[in-house]
Every structure is written in structure tokens, then in C-alpha cells.
Amino acid sequence: MDHGKNDMEILEATDDAYGGVIVDVRKKMDPPTFVAVLRASISRWRQQGKRGVWLKLPIELSSVVDSAVKEGFWYHHAEATYLMMVYWIPETTPHTFPPNASHRVGVGAFVINQKGQILVVQENGGMFAGTGIWKMPTGVVEQGEDICAAAVREVQEETGIDTKFVELLTFRQSHKSFFGKSDLFFVCMLRPLSFTIKKQDCEIKEAQWMGMEEYASQPFVQEREIFNSVAKICLARKENAYSGFSALLNTSGFSNKKCYLYCSSTYTPS
């Protein structure tokens, strides 16, 4: 906290890139004290011509959430340890806060061995539990994790098979999925580096190597267009009649952080 005129306590804030402020509340306060400090802070920011206010409240300060709502803040997003709330100071213009993340990202792994067999699993839970359907290992990409790395990790966790990323074969986008979010699902081709299956007992009922044609002929796959289309793409790749996207390690434009650019596997950078 800092102090202004009349020794008024103000929330510490850093400027964002769009004329607003970011407040990371660390000091514990009871609701009445929090409201007084928040009102004084907003008054100061209004005088300074600030626009949006990002208010990050740790879970330890959950008792002041209702107070923030009553002062005009609304939810933007939440994580395990904090809630992010926002407030728009200008009264004559609509807010320009970007929406929260709109998509969840998932991966499926097409792992094919030298015999032309693919790695498949039956799950203990979820929509496939108890159906007898064999499917590719799948999972959700974790925060800060690359798609190619997520596919390798999921296969190792579910089946104990070590793999190496080869190509991104295809992806699909769907909507109104997990809690109303849109969903991106990437099918990756992996090359096995080991072959002895050691399944994850808590999530996986069975795991095995299966002929590609046997997998694709399952009634569930045949009767559902998206599963059938993916199976056809995988089969075409097995027969070298299709090529996907390789992962090229690059640096991002602004932060110089490492990232992967997925492009045609036939492209060779000069």
C-alpha cells in the first residue's frame, strides 16, 4: 500500500499496457477496511485517467469478494489460488477487457509400431467407460505445455510407452464443450521408443497394440463421422499417402520465448 493526500491508504498497482492498472492484493483486510481502501484507490486512479482495473484476490481474501462485487467489480477468471476481478472506470465508454480464455486444448496420440499396429486403450471413466470401445490415448494440454510434448506425456502416463513426436496430423475445433468453452483437439503421430505396455491402473482399464484396420472397423468409429475421418487420415499416413505438420522450434516475436511453429513436413527451412 502507498499513501497519498491526507495519508489516505491506496492499493499498490502497476500499469498495464492499455491505460489501466493491475492490483495484486497481498495484505489481509477485513471487508470494511477493504472497501474504504478500494474506494480511495479508484478515486485516485480516476483522477489519473486510468481505465480498466484488474483486481487479483488470493484465495485467502475470499471474504472480500462480495464487497468488490458491490463496488461494481465483476469476475473475469479464476485459478486454483486466486480470483481475477475487473472494473471499468470511464462511465461514457464501454469496457475493452479481453475475454477470458475461450478454448480448452486436448491431444490424441496416433502411435504406430513397425508391425503397423497402433496403441489403443479402454478407459475406466468418462463417456467411454464400460463401452468396450478401443480409442487412442488422449488428454488435456497443461498450462505452459507444448502440444507435441503433451501427446508424448499422455501416452507415457496412460500406457508406460515412451515415444517421440513425429507430426501433427490433424485437428478439430468444437464448441459448447467443457463448461461452455470451445475445444481444440490435436491428433499427433508419435513413434514408439519402447513397446512393453505398463498401463495406468487408475484411468486405464486395458491397453494393447491393435491392427489399424481393426481399430478403424469398430462400429463406434464407423458410425461417427469425426472418428471415421480421423481414422482415415491415420490410415492414409500409415500408407504414406498423407503428410502432416512438423514442429519447428522458433522464438516468439516480442518476448523471444521458445515456441513451436507447426508447418508442412515437406517444408525444409533454408
Catalytic residues: 157
Contacts 24+ apart (CB under 8 A), 12-21: 13/41, 13/45, 13/53, 16/52, 16/54, 18/51, 18/52, 18/96, 19/49, 19/50, 19/51, 19/52, 20/50, 20/51, 20/52, 20/53, 20/54, 21/45, 21/50, 21/52, 21/53, 21/54
**Distance (Å, rounded) from C-alpha 135 to C-alpha 118?**
10
**3 state SS for 123-183:** ECCCCCCCCCCCECCEEECCCCCCHHHHHHHHHHHHHCCCEEEEEEEEEEEECCCHHHCEE
Neighbours of 65 (CB within 10 A): 17
